[in-house]
């Protein structure tokens, strides 16, 4: 199986854990995996991306127009990285925006709706409201796991949900495992609705 | 991670000592070693790269295997010992990892460590993937011992931060070593020794170039095409991504750009009319190939950065390599992705200080204290460089580690009317701040030093330093007290304040600004990414929507939601800075309540 998955968002949203779980799960299922992350200066509230390449690959970064799936934790970040998407690829995007400090200062009115509308018009996409899906868990922090559930639910991730759940158990602190699993299932049910 | 592969490669090679100073993209190398079994290996975060280099040099003089880790600008700091060490040589293997940062993504410069190798006349190894980095570290140690020379090892960001699977052997422990054998003719650098060794080194490098022509990392793939590609490091991965569909094109990959494997490249270029050099940073390989073509009168067109076929600066990517290669080969370049020319304008996201970061409060206090006065704000390297962002706008200069302190003195000598501030973080203070303070006291400068002490090296991932009381060996050690250091150097007035107490901080700054000589304010409050405070601030309906809080401090937790100033409880740490600014006392909660 060859798959390119791009994860994007804003520093602090938990994109790195999501990409690590995907990479480790694919490895557990016997695939070769290459991946790359944004680390350092750009992490502080900046745009961040993780590239996960499952199967044969040379470049750790996904070449343009070859991503099978984009997991976007923020609507503008989905648009920013859309050039990576294959024509028949899919975007799973959180509709809740992260407003940069510059936006509060200049008040340009950015609220993400324009981005979501653009994506819907442009490509195949699944829009998830992080606040809504994470409401039962008391914090949007669980969105990074919920979105993995959505991705698995669509049947287009190419990794079984059992493998991902096992990796979640390995990587999440003991006392948060059950909530994270519940967040994964909440996402999974949502993703099922879009199963190809 | 590539950095992890380097660490595990060094352990597999039986490394005895590893020293380094944190710097993106190199920091995780030492951290990985500290997390894996490393019994009998001394590991340390040294105070700076020069210290790390010297600690490691002595280990290598003793026959032990030593590794030093740093980012490329760190190599500038360690250049003094390295230059001399290149002349003296080593007994045990010594590998200096200097991670380059094309882009630059998290650095001040786009310098090229391969130039340093040429400058010092020592070899450099250039891995193209985490897998190769793992095995190449061992090779680097072996070449170091075979030729008794320190060797450079230069991964780039995309190798350091890329992940791949690597099979590692069970840890067999560090290598046995003989110990230091006194021989002042060998280990004490004098002009006579340098003269003799310089001649030896130049002769050796010719031999070594021949030797490296047979090195397994230097490879030739493809058929006997008239057009060939030469590349190295991560650029090889990008090139291969395109050339996998053109297997007949001759592809030369160089893992050792210096000493140049002349014989290998010369024979690979036999029958080639045109060659393109695909590399990041400087046109190092391209210049070597041009020299080779001149020396051997080759009928060869050499392309790359020098004729504009490859971009002169910034990092490459698989996409950029595809464009370059399709142009060179006259082949297809099909990017089948979406055309985004109709996309809406995207919000810009410059990196900012975290919500609740004590540095924000420190900068704001200095800004308030200096309102209406002429002042110079000399910044430095660390999270606090982000104090430059609007609306704080509190970094007038940033040059290199430690420069804020000394540049503040320079501004004083050119304008005695301005109040000159030098900002420095706690880790940077130990790395390169102390000599600058001594310089100020000695030369009778007039300045205010602001130490932004958050008790960690935050930007690079929270490494400990001499002020913390804990080292990488896991030992609890005596803390070096910054206030006592400053008093010892002779700083006239040293005040320690909590930056989250705005009034006290503003008063401390004002008081120091009005005294002649060298004064210091230590703003002490822990990094919120470590202390993780759980308090939250809240806004009551007393809020008159004046937005002063947003305009003044630019905290990411202060947002406008449905037209109203709102605190994002997911980000707020309850530092209470905004509540101290609010003119109508509408903000409550936070740590103080």
Q: What is the pLDDT of residues A127-144, one digit of tens each?
A: 999 999 999 998 888 999
CB-CB neighbors (< 8 A) of A101 in chain B: 352, 389, 554-556
> Do B366 and B323 share a structural domain?
no
Structural domain count of chain A: 1
Tell me the three-class secondary structure of B497-535, residue by residue.
Answer: ECCCCHHHHHHHHHHHHCCCCEEEEEEECCCHHHHCCCC
The CATH number of the domain holding residue A91 is 3.40.920.10
Is any Cβ of chain B less than 8 angstroms from the Cβ of A102? Answer: yes
> What ipTM is given for this predicted complex?
0.90
Instruction: Give all strands (DSSP E) within B294-374, no chain letters.
Output: 301-303
Neighbours of B480 (CB within 10 A): 17
How far is it, in rounded angstroms, from Cα A185 to Cα A155?
14
What is the Cα–Cα distance from B481 to B465, expressed in whole angstroms?
11
Mean pLDDT of chain A: 92
Residue to substitute from B243, B332, B347, interface A, most A β-carbons within 10 A = B347
In this structure, is residue B342 part of a structural domain? Answer: no
Could you say which residues from 164 to 193 on chain B have a Cβ atom under 8 Å away from some Cβ of chain A? 164-165
Shared domain for B503 and B452, answered yes or no, is: yes
Indicate if B23 and B171 belong to the same structural domain: yes
Task: Decide if B240 touches A, using CB distance below 8 A.
Answer: yes
CB atoms within 10 A of CB B566: 15
- Identify all chain B residues contacting A123, using CB atoms and an 8 Å cutoff: 338
The stretch B362-366 carries a mean pLDDT of 98
pLDDT at B593: 47
B334 located within any domain: no
Whether B77 and B432 have beta carbons less than 8 Å apart is answered as yes
A-chain residue closest to B319, CA distance? A63
Please tell me whether residues B457 and B552 are part of one structural domain. Answer: no
Question: Is residue B350 domain-resident?
Answer: no
- Window A:149-168, CB contacts with B under 8 Å: none
Spatial separation of the C-alpha atoms in residues B353 and B565, rounded to whole Å: 19
| Cβ pairs A/B, distance under 8 A | 166
Are B204 and B234 part of one and the same domain?
no
The average pLDDT across B248-272 equals: 97
Residue A41: pLDDT above 60?
no
- Tokens at residue B243, please? 């050339």
The domain tally of chain B equals: 4
For range B31-45, the mean pLDDT = 96
CATH number of the domain where residue B229 is located? 3.40.50.920
Query: Do B137 and B266 share a domain, yes or no?
Result: no
Q: Is A11 on the interface with B (CB under 8 A)?
A: yes
Shared domain for B232 and B146, answered yes or no, is no
Q: How far is B85 from chain A (nearest CA, A)?
A: 31
C-alpha span between B320 and B312 (Å, rounded): 13
| Across B526-536, average pLDDT | 91
d(CA B155, CA B168): 20
Range of the domain at B559: 537-589
When pLDDT is averaged across residues A145-150 and rounded to a whole number, the result is 97
Least CB-CB distance to A83: which of B24, B340, B346?
A: B340
- Mean pLDDT over residues B155-177, rounded? 93
pLDDT value at B63 more than 90: yes
On chain B, the residues whose CB falls within 8 A of the CB of A11 are 351
Q: Give the nearest partner residue to B319 out of A32, A58, A63, using CB atoms.
A: A63
Write out chain A residues lying below 8 Å of B319, CB-based: 63-64
Q: Is residue B474 part of a domain?
A: yes
Residue B345 lies in a domain: no
Contact A110 B347 (CB under 8 A): yes
d(C-alpha B16, C-alpha B43), whole Å = 9
Whether residue B522 is found in the same domain as residue B575: no
Helices then strands (H, E): number in chain A? Answer: 8, 6
Compute the distance between CA of residue B221 and CA of residue B238 in angstroms, rounded to an integer. 15
A162 Cβ neighbours under 8 A, 6+ residues apart: none
Give the C-alpha separation, B589 to B574, whole Å. Answer: 7
CA angle A89/A133/A22 to nearest 5° reads 45
CB contact under 8 A, B348 and A61: no
Provide the residue range defining the domain that includes A13.
3-192
Answer whether residue A40 shows pLDDT above 70: no
Establish if A139 touches chain B: CB-CB under 8 angstroms: yes
Out of A23, A63, A114, the one facing B163 most closely (by C-beta) is: A23
Q: Is the pLDDT of residue A51 over 70?
A: yes
In terms of domains, do B137 and B264 share one? no
Of the candidates B302, B252, B248, the residue with the CA atom closest to the CA atom of residue B274: B302
Q: Are residues B83 and B198 in the same domain?
A: yes
Would you call B344 and A61 a contact, using CB atoms and an 8 Å cutoff? no
Nearest-CB residue to A115 (from B162, B165, B344): B344
Dmax (CA) for chain A in angstroms is 49
List all residues of chain B from 331 to 370 with a beta carbon under 8 Å from chain A. Answer: 335-338, 340, 342-344, 346-354
Residues B440 and B569 in one domain: no
The pLDDT confidence band at residue B592, using thresholds 50, 70 and 90, is: low
pLDDT band (50, 70, 90) for residue B558: very high
Per-residue pLDDT band for B461 (boundaries 50, 70, 90) equals: confident
Average predicted confidence (pLDDT) for chain B: 95
B17 lies in the same domain as B77: yes
Please judge whether A45 and B351 are an interchain contact, meaning their C-beta atoms are less than 8 angstroms apart.
yes
């Amino acid at each position: 199986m060859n798959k390119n998955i791009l994860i994007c968002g804003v520093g602090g949203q938990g994109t790195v854990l999501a990409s690590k779980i995907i990479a480790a799960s694919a490895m557990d299922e016997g695939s070769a995996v290459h991946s790359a992350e944004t680390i350092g200066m750009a992490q502080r509230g900046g745009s961040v991306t993780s590239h996960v390449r499952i199967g044969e690959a040379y470049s750790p970064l996904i070449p343009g127009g070859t991503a099978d799936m984009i997991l976007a934790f923020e609507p503008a970040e989905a648009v920013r990285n859309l050039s990576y998407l294959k024509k028949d690829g899919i975007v799973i995007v959180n509709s809740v925006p992260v407003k940069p400090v510059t936006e509060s200062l200049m008040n340009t009115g950015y609220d993400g709706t324009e981005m979501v509308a653009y994506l819907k018009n442009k490509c195949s996409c699944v829009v998830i409201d992080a606040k809504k899906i994470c409401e039962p868990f008391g914090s949007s922090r669980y969105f990074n796991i919920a979105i993995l559930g959505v991705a698995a639910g669509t049947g287009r991730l190419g990794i079984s949900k059992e493998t991902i759940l096992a990796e979640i158990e390995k990587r999440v602190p003991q006392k948060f495992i059950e909530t994270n699993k519940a967040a994964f299932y909440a996402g999974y049910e949502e993703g099922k609705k879009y199963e190809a | 991670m590539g950095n992890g592969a380097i660490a595990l490669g060094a352990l597999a090679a039986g490394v005895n000592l590893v020293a380094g100073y944190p710097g993106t993209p190199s920091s995780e190398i030492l951290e990985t070693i500290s997390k894996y079994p490393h019994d009998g290996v001394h590991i340390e975060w040294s105070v700076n790269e020069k210290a790390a280099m010297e600690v490691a040099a002595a280990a290598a003089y003793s026959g032990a295997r030593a590794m030093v880790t740093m980012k490329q600008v760190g190599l500038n700091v360690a250049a003094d010992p390295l230059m001399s060490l290149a002349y003296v040589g080593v007994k045990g293997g010594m590998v200096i990892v200097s991670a380059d940062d094309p882009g630059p993504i998290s650095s001040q410069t786009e310098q090229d460590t391969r130039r340093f190798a040429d400058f010092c006349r020592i070899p450099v190894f250039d891995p193209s993937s985490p897998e190769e980095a793992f095995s190449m570290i061992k090779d680097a140690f072996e070449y170091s011992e075979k030729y008794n020379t320190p060797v450079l090892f230069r991964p780039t960001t995309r190798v350091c931060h890329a992940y791949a699977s690597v099979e590692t052997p069970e840890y067999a422990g560090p290598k046995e070593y003989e110990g230091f054998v006194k021989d002042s003719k060998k280990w004490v650098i004098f002009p006579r020794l340098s003269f003799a060794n310089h001649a030896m080194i130049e002769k050796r490098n010719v031999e070594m170039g021949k030797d490296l022509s047979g090195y397994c990392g230097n490879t030739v793939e493809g058929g006997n095409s008239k057009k060939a590609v030469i590349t190295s490091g991560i650029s090889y991965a990008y090139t291969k991504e395109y050339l996998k569909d053109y297997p007949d094109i001759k592809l030369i990959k160089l893992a050792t750009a210096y000493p140049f494997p002349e014989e290998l490249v010369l024979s690979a270029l036999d029958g080639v009319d045109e060659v393109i050099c695909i590399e990041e940073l400087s046109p190092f390989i391209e210049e070597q190939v041009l020299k080779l073509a001149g020396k051997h009168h080759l009928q060869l067109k050499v392309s790359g950065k020098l004729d504009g076929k490859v971009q002169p600066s910034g990092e490459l990517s698989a996409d950029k390599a595809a464009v370059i290669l399709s142009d060179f080969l006259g082949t297809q370049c099909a990017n089948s992705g979406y055309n985004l020319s109709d996309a809406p304008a995207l919000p810009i996201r410059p990196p900012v200080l975290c919500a609740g970061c004590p540095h924000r409060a420190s900068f704001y206090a200095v800004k308030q204290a200096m309102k209406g006065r002429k002042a110079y704000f000399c910044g430095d390297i660390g999270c606090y460089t982000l104090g430059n962002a609007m609306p704080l706008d509190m970094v007038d200069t940033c040059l290199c580690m430690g420069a804020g302190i000394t540049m503040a003195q320079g501004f004083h000598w050119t304008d005695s009317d301005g109040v000159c501030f030098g900002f420095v973080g706690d880790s940077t203070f130990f790395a390169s701040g102390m000599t600058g303070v001594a310089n100020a006291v000695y030369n009778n400068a007039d300045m205010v030093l602001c130490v932004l002490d958050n008790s960690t090296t935050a930007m690079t991932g929270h490494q400990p330093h001499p002020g913390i009381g804990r080292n990488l060996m896991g030992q609890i050690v005596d803390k070096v007290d910054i206030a006592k250091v400053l008093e010892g150097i002779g700083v006239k007035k040293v005040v320690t304040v909590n930056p989250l107490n705005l009034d006290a901080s503003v008063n401390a700054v004002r008081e120091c600004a009005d005294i002649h000589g060298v004064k210091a304010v230590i703003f002490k409050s822990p990094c919120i990414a470590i202390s993780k405070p759980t308090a939250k601030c809240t806004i009551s309906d007393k809020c008159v929507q004046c937005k002063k809080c947003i305009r003044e401090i630019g905290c990411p937790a202060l947002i406008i939601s449905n037209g109203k100033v709102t605190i994002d409880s997911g980000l707020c740490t309850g530092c209470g800075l905004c509540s101290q600014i609010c003119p109508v006392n509408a903000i409550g909660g936070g740590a103080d309540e």
